[in-house]
Structure 1
Amino acid sequence: MVLFKRKPVRYLPHPYIDDQECDVWVVSESNEVFTSYDAYLERMDFFKSKRFTCEVTGRSGLTFFDALRSEQAGSKEIDEAFPQALREPVLRRVQFSTTSRIDNLVEEVFNEFKNDFYPGELVTIILNDSSRLNGRVRDKAKFAEIRGPDGSVSRRAFSRYFVRIIDRPDEEALVDDQHIARDRKIFTKQMLRSFIKNAVTREGWIGAPWLVKPEIAERFRIDTNVPPQLQYSSKVAAKKAEKRNASMEQQDGMFGIWQPNKFPELKPAPKARKSQQHHSQEQIHPTARPYHAPYPDPGLLPRSWDLMQHPPPPPPEQYFPYLPGYSNPYLPPNGHYYPPPQPPPQPMPPKQQVVVEVPPPPPPPPIKYPIDDLDVEPVRDGTHRPALKFITEEQCSDRKQMENVIPGLKEENIGLLLETWNTLNVYCQVLKLDSFTFDDFVDAMLFSSADIDCEMFVEVHCAILKQLVKGENEDEGAIQISLPDLPDPDESEEESEEEESKLPTPTPEPEYPAKRTRSSLNKVKFAEPEPEPIEEDEVETVPHRAAEMFDEYGWIDRLRKRDFSKGGWELVMVGLLHQLAGRPRLTDVCVKILTHLAPLDAEPTIDTARTQYSTMDLNLRAEALQIICQLFLETKTVKDFLEDMSNTMTQYRKNKIEHQRARKEALAKLKELQIERRLLAPEPEKSPSPVPELEDAMDVDKTEEGDISIPDSEDEERLLTRSLRRGTDRAAERKRKREEEQERREKAAEAKQNKGSKEYQKVLKQIEKEREKVRAAEDAIIVIDGDLREADCPRTRVLGKDRFCNRYWWFERNAMPYGGLPDSSTADADYANGRLWVQGPDDMEREGFIEIPKQDQDAYYRRFQMTPAERKVMEEGPTRLNNAKQWGFYDTAEELDMLIGWLESRGVREVKLQKELSGQRDVIIKHMEKRAAYLVPREKSEEPPARMSTRTKAYFDDKTHRCLRWRNTTAIAELGHRHVDPPPKPRPRGKKNAVIEESKPASKALPVLNRQGKPVTRQEDDDAMIQEKVAD
């Protein structure tokens, strides 16, 4: 804005024009309209006077038009020079700032932003070898400060930036604050000052806040509602209240006895009777004077402004003649009479006078955190949630994100894979399966070959199927699940024969009307019977031949006999899915799978089922496996296992309480022993003896008044003491006395130590014993906590939700060991899943928090200048999850730290999630690193590989397909064979066989191990019983 006398020029309002045909004159630069040519010329003369100042450059002595052009050019130059990425953050920082001087404001903003960078900003990367590269900030993450229990800073706050290198478009750099810089010419104090002066304004009263100009605030969506505590009315009310309180304190001080000393108010004496009368008249009629609106500043108006329309003059005063009978008539100087004035209102006595004061509005109460996450003020510094990684192609928008994609996987089947893997690993003891990693599981689901079978894929299906139907030697092959009935063709034929054998229903005779006529009888007689509605049988075309694959040997009988080899388990899956198609909820999925397993163009044989299953799509495999996993969870075996785990957890909690009680008792005993140790300790330990040098100094002060120094050592004694007669002899005497005193004290301490050494040593041994008890109890508590975590099997526990209701899953959090079973065939991987998974919000949460009604959106927009959906786009970045079927993950320590720093501790959901992630951080990072090391391609062995014959069977390297390394050692150890293999036939009893059995070496029965590699125990009373059972 152009300045005149250091104030913005006020433009004249548009006049009211009645006649639309009259001539007007316009100043285009100020958009002012004049109906008088003289007023227009006056205004132009005012604008052409060189008394104006450019606000941007500070140049003065310009005409209004020159200053306006200079300001526009300067503003354009500032807009082009100032970095685009810094404009919004700087303006948000300046908005409502109460720093009085603009120099101080510029200094504060510059110091705050000089080491802070924002996405989209051009920066310079400083490499370790001091070389520099130009880049553009793509992403930014802030890490909060971490303090230790003692309050010390264990990690300072810092930021990390993903920077795209300009000269290398396909490369990015991850740098911190120490390896990134900004060009000095881009962000300077002078440029920042010019930008702030051009973008903000402030009112003239003291303490007024800086306000961003409305047009700029609207462009950047900056809130322009001034807080109540920064408004001028609030400041005035506060000052008035302060003055009123001060005066009340002065008047009421000392119960009103001592009045404050004040100087008398001095007023000039009246000079004439006329002035006195006029003064009294003004006092009697304070409201009789007409009100005239003040004109604008005369310096801003032309001299011919009087030619334009003026406000109407006040009406003339009316005077009246002398009224007879009025004893005190008022006679003005002009000789006219008018009625006497009304008597002034009598003031009320001080005790009855009531002063009604409107108190200032109270300030808004402080916000008590935590509150709902979306009610927290959004952070507008350019940071957003770290980018997610995806495993489906449809979620990836960049080629760089394709490295983690699982080929052919659909978005809606990610949850099925994770759910199935989690179920198999949680109940691996029930299923008698070795644990396996999620990466190996996905590899097994993708593996397809007609020549070789993947043992993991086959064993998983066979283990689950065996739990659905008992073996023929167990409970007579009882079915453990409820199955829908299949239509029996024999029953349908019998029903049709019964319908044919039934007598035909006689046709009812026609009803004749009561009043019969010939015509009516003819109508009834020759009326054609109404045709019965023919029920059209909807002939549904079955798109598969699953029913034709079973004759007399059904899938249940095959499952009872455990006939799984050579396509047997695939045929069982076909029969099971065919029968489950009778459930309405599973009909579509089962028909889709059966269409591939038993197509119409193939023979309904066992070979067809085996071939089709080996070529089935990953998505169909995931859906089929998820169906039988859900059936497995309905069995009584799972219910018994969960009940057993519940009892085990109860026993674990009791043991934990016992260990906690033992720890508490040991700590109490340890405290008593520490007190006893201090009492029995030798003299130096109880209280240190005075320093001998200080005692010598006290002796010197007593004997020699002239010696002013205190010796600190024997070497300094000769230099510090004053040289007097016989000074050397006195020094030697003091040294001899000190040695004698020291020897005496040593002898006394030795005698006392010999006297109490036995008791003291005994106490020390007891202290060490109690400390060992405390350590043992704490170690036992840690082990029990791990056992409780692994025994918590009923459901997988989510870590928490963020502000947009995305769920965060660390599947190793409960119900399974962190690194899988220690005796698994792939235990060297030492991880289970190794990824932090993020699931999108479900439909109810999305509609309740993000896609809110229009009225709520408008209210939210008025508060934060954005809707919840726009906030989600801004704060989540380009990698967003829109529904519960979408998943993403993090697999590096840097991403986890950035996520913890992005979470807001003032929100109710994110404060819990942040606490969980911070508590599990070390474990999560450890197994993320284990996964990264496991997935690195293994180096080729130096020894030449053994030659294998591949003439009859294809060979697959387990380095390419890691799932082929997996073996089901648990089933072999407990059952003696794999699940896919038929059970061994029982040997016939006989003497020969008994001799053979005795000749075999007796193998010691292997104990069943739990997930830590320890023997499985249920509700053991103490550790001694466990060791006894292991020994047996």
Structure 2
Amino acid sequence: MEGDRAEFKFSEVLRKKILARVQFQTIRLDELVDDIMNYFKDNYLVGEVVQCTLNNNDYFARIVDIIPDSWSMNNESTRQQQSQQQPSSSEVPRQPNGRLRFPDAFLHPSEEESNHMLSLGGRMYKVQLIDEKGRSLEEYIRTVGQYSIRRERESFNRHNVQCFIRECFYRDNYVGAPWLIKPNIAQYYCIDSTLPQHLQEAQNDFLKSNKRRKLMQTRTTDDRMAERKAKKEESMLQKAKLKEERERQKEERKRQVAVKYPLEDLDLPIYRKDPSLNWLLVDMSPQKCDSKEIIIPYPSGGRSLRPMPHKESSIPPELFDSFLSVWSFLTVFAEPLKVSAYSVDEFEGALFHNTHQPKATVLVEYNACLLNVIINERNDDTSNEIINGDAVDQYIEDLEEQEESDEEDTKEERKPVLPTVERGWRDKEHLRISSRWDHKELRASTERRGWESSLIGCLNDVATPDMIPDLNEILQHLVPRSNSTAAEREKRYPTLSLKQKLDILGFLVNVVNESNLIKNYMEYCQEQLSEYRKQKIELNKESKALSFRRIEMDKRDRAEKRAKGNNGEEEEEEHLDSSDSSDHSDNESDESDSSEDQNLSREGRHQSRQEKLKQKQREREEMEHMRKKVHAEQREVAKAKNQEQKNKANERRKLEEEEKILKKKEEHLERCMRRYMTLRIRPLGKDRFYNQYIYLDNIGVSNTYGTGRLYVHSPTDADIQLLLERDYMTDLPERHYGYGGGRSFVLKLMKDQGLVEESEWLENRMNELISGNPSEYKGWWKYYSEPEEIEQLLSWLNPKGIRESKLKNELLKQQANIIDSIKKRITASTKPAEPETPKRTTRAKSASKN
């Protein structure tokens, strides 16, 4: 009957909404019921019959409309207008208990009730009173809040909702099946029952599998045999393919193992393996690969990206080479030059110092110490043509000869030999100012007083315009006018341009580099290096001896481990045999005991019970004696084994301590050798793209962190030519792992590895070299200044390449020193700035005087 169905316990409008919400849901029934109850708890529908509570009275009402939220902004004015049109509550007749009669209670709620309803907030509904038969009473309409209405609990509850879903929906028995409305219900309520695409696909898959299952159940024996045979053949074919692929991969691995590393970095096979084609190796040599549309299969090579180096510096790129070379020379030879070693940051800051007071101590010290070497060499009558002034005399003679030949050709009046630039090179004013510039050293005790005049004299008597291109402009700047005072000249040097300061220092460095002082010091350093190399040979012998001892220990331990395993198996077998024999002997003893008992019983118990007890006591004593003996032997064996293990552990611990001591000796020796590597500062190595990595610290005697950086320098023109030649290598021997490509391959690999800016510079330089008219080489300089960047760089380097294998080994040797310098620089940069004071210079050791 209809009255018994849960469907008809809800209003029609609510039924339709519940049906639409349940349709196509895929959750369980209990979760679905919870969802319906929660959703419709405070949501009421237009046309739904509800109970309305006013003045503690309940009325049946039908929802006529749902008021928007903006209604609450104007509800107060509306309520006031309604109150003006309707009679006041005092004029409405009441019951004896003070309550309003129906329907006045519905039409005239109390002011407190209305305010309470508005304060609760929530959605507002317009409802119309209905009678017992559900007919609308047109005049009885009012607006109420959602908390003043409710559904009948007898109809809207969990049980009825669950029964309603069961009556109107069905669900298939596969995972994720949706709740589907029954066709007659959908037709009655005009609800579309078309499945969404994703649910339709899931249902189709279920129907197909269900159909196959039914076919499997109805198939004959022959059909099953035929299908089984087909599956077997397909499986065998698949296995054959897999076996063939495994054989191919196995052969490929063998070929890879046959590759002898390290080899040319840009020819490493890892970049040319295609991971999408089972790591198929591609030969990308220019003769076999189109360079226009080149695609590198695996550009990362399984390694992280190279950390991006920094390039922030106030020194222009075109002057950075000169800047570093000057600082490096003055730091490396600080001991024989008798000057304190300053950090590269202090030197950089001093170059930009443009005021006379306070003085730029770094530049004063650097210029003065170089001038002192030249002064001493001139006083010792050196044979160096530049220092003793012969080069200047020769330059003047060449000018005279040139002018004489020009005069004969033109037959004109002879002009002066030297340029007539006012206050230029070899000007009389300059010669007057610096007439005695090389008579005495510039001492630190007098704060290097007069070093500017000595510099002017040196530039006139030692330098020529060929050595310093802007020599005239520099001298004109240093001497502001004729008959200038010393105070005026002292203010001029700080205002020189950065390039002019570096040109002066570069000239002084080049001159001093040829002096006897530097040559003698370099000979002394070479002697020290020879001595250290002998020590290194002895340390290498000790290292080989320790390695041999470790290898022998490892061999012995492995042999004992294998022997122990074999002994354990033999003991287990012996244990099983002994248990079998003991069981057998026990059985025999039981049998003998039983036979003896029978004999005793037949003989009438010839032995007394007391004698039996004595016999058993003797046997127990013998067994206890044997047990103690075996236990004592086992203790001795265990004690010997423990002692042997302790001896082995002590031996291995001693070996490890000797290795640590040897490692510390090697590190100390490396530091000492690096200190005396003054002959030439070489890069640590080059990466796959020929970028150079340069570490300038810990060479010579230094009381500062130096640079606190690892510098990266662009490839030289010679290295770039090697990259260009890769396009024309036609006589390469065949090899199974092939070759990397040429110019296009290198540039593409750089871009794929994130080195876009460097690849653009390299491409431009390549184009210039190909054109035949390249401009002057202007490389780039970058640096690493964080410990984490050094670790990331080591992870990026591939030791299977020739260049990066050497670079990585050198970086690992110097890693501790590099990180220590970086940390010192970071610490120094975080300290508060202190007023600059001249550092005490120390005299050179006696060895450097020779």
TM-score bracket, shorter-length normalisation: 0.3 to 0.5
Work out which structure has the larger RCO, using CA pairs closer than 8 Å and 6 or more positions apart in sequence: 2
Asked which structure has the greater CA Rg, the reply is 2
Give TM-score, length-normalised by structure 2.
Answer: 0.47
Structure having the larger proportion of residues in helix: 2
Give TM-score, length-normalised by structure 1.
Answer: 0.40
